[in-house]
Amino acid sequence: MENINKELKVSALENGTVLDHIPAENVYKALDILGLKGIGNQITIGINLSSKLFGKKGIIKIADRFFQDDELNKLALIAPHATVNIIRNFQVVEKKKLVMPHEITGIAKCMNPKCITNHQPVRTRFTVLEEDGEISLLCHYCEKRSDIKSLF
Amino acid sequence: MKKSLISIQDFSKEEILHVLETAKEFEKNRVQNILEGKVIACIFFEPSTRTRLSFETAVNRLGAKVIGFSDATNTSVSKGETLKDTIKMVSNYVDMIIMRHPLEGSSRYASEVSSVPVVNAGDGANQHPSQTLLDLYTIMQTQGRLDHLKINMVGDLKYGRTTHSLLQAMSHFSPEFIFTAPEELKMPVEYKDFLNERGIKYTETTSLEEHLDDCDILYMTRVQQERFTDPMEYEKVKDVYRLKASMLENVKPNMKILHPLPRVNEIDQDVDETPYAYYFKQAENGLYVRMSIISCLLGYR
Ligand SMILES: [Zn+2]
């Protein structure tokens, strides 16, 4: 109990969004996907925090920022077990789980070197495929599958 | 709403059958000026004489006019114009765009930018749906049906886009497949998954002789050098199969040999004289099927 209180003191949010249970190695990707690099809001990032469930986890707290569900759901690609806490007036007013999006646009790169999206200014578009817990992306243009690692 | 033909999977079973039925009508009467006054662009960003001539003949036989280019070397494209700008400009002039481009997905993108229907005449190693429809038409013509046929695909099943698209299109018609390919050029797992999901049976072999006698369609393909990144890999497999007339003694009487052409060494000249050779008629069918595709997409059939 003491630990939790200490953590809250350091980074308590008055209003904003807390993204928890992000795999530690994907925290920077999460910032990218949500477009948080270079914005003016106060952001607290924790990496390699211990988690009973995942070993090492990451956490991102963004002050005064609330997201649409479809913005947040993009995170499911790299952090399928992440949880979202909406904070208002220091209280968690809502908890959400992510839903894997059916389609994503503009955030991943096609791994096919002969794909039109790698040669012309075309916004990428993929259908998300989930097979046996493995996620891959089917390019809307060249119809080839890309590994999730091609995301950035 | 405008409808384009980019990938064979854009067409439902009913749409495929409609195109094939319409093609029969054009085969009976190939001079039909139903598109008089229309202008259609044939823009080929990489040369393909065979495909271009077939499409341009189809346009002419329908009574429409053709504009375009057969090679992007001397166009604004070589000066760095984006595909988007080229398509925007051309689609303002014409009633339909038929395009071929070396980059995969280029036709899909063009159809999203264009204000008129786009027909994909080949986008790199991805799709070439008019070839698939003419293959289906030819299969139907030779067998009197599309349902419950055994199709033996031979050659480069790894890089060969015609076999991949034909497999997808035939999946509407309860087929059975034989895949004859060397280890290096086997049918990719994603297409086998596609068949497994639909409960469609297939058998794989490396021997050409093994399934000649129990198939209805022998679909031969060429091993294309340009698809290989490793020249050694190409040398190993380029002449792996060679079909000779003497190998056809015990085939089914209804069996027909198809090939998207051009062939290199995979079908001997002496096969041409057998009653099983059908690849030249198949190429001719391309004209009727392309006439059908164009008139169906423009709403004239
Ligand atoms: Zn692609």
- C-beta neighbour count of A137 within 10 angstroms: 26
Residue B233, pLDDT > 70, answer yes
Q: At B13, is the pLDDT very low, low, confident or very high (cuts 50, 70, 90)?
A: very high
Ligand 1 centre distance from Cα of residue A139 (Å): 5
The ipTM assigned to this model is 0.89
CA end-to-end span of chain A: 38
Phi, psi of A150 (to 5 degrees): -80, 5
B279 within some domain: yes
Same domain, B70 and B113: yes
Tens of pLDDT, residue by residue over B24-38, are 999 999 989 999 999
Report residue A29 as tokens.
Answer: 């990707």
Core vs surface per residue B232-262: b (16+ CB within 10 A) or e: eebeebbebbebebeebeebeeebbbbbbee
Same domain, B190 and B256: yes
Q: At A2, is the pLDDT very low, low, confident or very high (cuts 50, 70, 90)?
A: very low
Mutate to test the interface with A, among B86, B126, B189, B229 (most CBs of A within 10 A): B126
Q: Are B222 and B264 in contact (CB under 8 A)?
A: yes
Range list of β-strands (E), chain B:
39-44, 65-69, 96-101, 118-123, 150-154, 176-180, 202-205, 217-220, 256-258
CATH of residue B101: 3.40.50.1370
Same domain, B245 and B107: no
Ligand 1 centre distance from Cα of residue A126 (Å): 8
3.90.1150.10, 3.40.50.10680, 3.40.50.12240, 3.30.70.140: which CATH number matches A2-97? Answer: 3.30.70.140
Closest alpha carbon to B171 in B142, B154, B195 = B195
B10 within some domain: no
For chain A, the structural domain boundaries read 2-97, 103-151
Q: What is the pLDDT of residue A51?
A: 80
Residue B227, pLDDT > 80, answer no
Same domain, B81 and B139: no
B182 within some domain: yes
Q: At A11, is the pLDDT very low, low, confident or very high (cuts 50, 70, 90)?
A: low
Same domain, B141 and B275: yes
Nearest CA in chain B to A145: B190
CATH class of residue range A103-151? mainly beta
Q: Is B105 within 8 Å of A120 when comparing Cβ atoms?
A: no
Closest alpha carbon to B266 in B291, B237, B286 = B237
Tens of pLDDT, residue by residue over B250-259, are 999 999 999 9
CA–CA gap between residue A115 and residue A124 (Å, rounded)? 10
Tens of pLDDT, residue by residue over B60-105, are 999 999 999 998 877 777 778 899 999 999 999 999 999 999 999 9
**For the ranges B66-80, B150-164, B193-207, which has the lowest average pLDDT?**
B66-80
Token pair 């999901």: residue: B197
Ligand 1 centre distance from Cα of residue B281 (Å): 35
- What's the mean pLDDT when you consider all of chain B? 95
Ligand 1 centre distance from Cα of residue A116 (Å): 7
Tens of pLDDT, residue by residue over A103-123, are 999 888 999 999 999 999 999
Closest CB to B103 among A116, A140, A144? A116
Domain residues for the domain of B166 are: 130-283
Same domain, B78 and B134: no
Same domain, B223 and B136: yes
How many domains are contained in chain B?
2
Residue B218, pLDDT > 50, answer yes
Q: Are A124 and A110 in contact (CB under 8 A)?
A: yes
Measured between beta carbons, which residues in chain A are less than 8 angstroms from residue B103? 114-116, 119-120
DSSP letter string, A78-119: T-TT-EEEEEETTEEEEEEE----SEEESS---S-TTBGGGT
Chain B residues whose C-beta sits inside 8 Å of any chain A C-beta? 7, 82-84, 101-106, 108-109, 123-127, 190
Residue A149, pLDDT > 90, answer no
Please report, as a single letter, which amino acid is at residue B41.
A
Residue B204, pLDDT > 80, answer yes
Same domain, B211 and B243: yes
Rg (CA), chain B: 19
